[in-house]
Amino acid sequence: DIQMTQSPATLSASVGDRVTITCRASQSINSWLAWYQQKPGKAPKLLIYKASHLQSGVPSRFSGSGSGTEFTLTISSLQPDDFAAYHCQQYDSYFSTFGQGTKLEIK
């Protein structure tokens, strides 16, 4: 299985900050990577697919980059609604795997 290593596990930030979350794959996954946001007790919500494509309806302050084995999710200016958990997912094969998640909390 392809292993996904996400960092940091926890990130403390303030409204208006620019934050970056990183996801590393154990082997090349080209650009087959997605990012999800999850709030407590809720289902995950797709933010970014194919590494850098913004899902319809997602605010433009979210962006994704990377290819191969290293990927980043950036939130350009944190809003109160953005404090949540974030997960990366590789789908280079049918056997999809997720990172361990990053909890973004208010500083």
Partner 1 sequence: EVQLVESGGALVQPGGSLRLSCAASGFIFNTFTMNWVRQAPGKGLEWVSHIHSSGTPIYYKDSVRGRFVISRDNAKNSLYLQMNSLRAEDTAVYYCARSSGNYGGSEFDYWGRGTLVTVSS
Residues that bind partner 1 (CB under 8 A): 1, 32, 34, 36, 38, 42-46, 49-50, 55, 87, 89-101
| Of residues 30 and 77, the one with the C-beta less far from partner 1 | 30
| Of residues 22 and 97, the one with the C-beta less far from partner 1 | 97
| Of residues 17 and 72, the one with the C-beta less far from partner 1 | 72
Report, in Å, the least distance between residue 89 CB and partner 1.
7
Closest CA to 6 of 67, 70, 79: 70
Report, in Å, the least distance between residue 106 CB and partner 1.
19
Report, in Å, the least distance between residue 101 CB and partner 1.
4
Q: Are 73 and 21 in contact (CB under 8 A)?
A: yes
Phi-psi region of 37 (alpha: psi -120 to 50; beta: other; left: phi over 0): beta
- Give residues with Cβ within 8 angstroms of 76, minimum separation 6: 18, 61, 62, 63
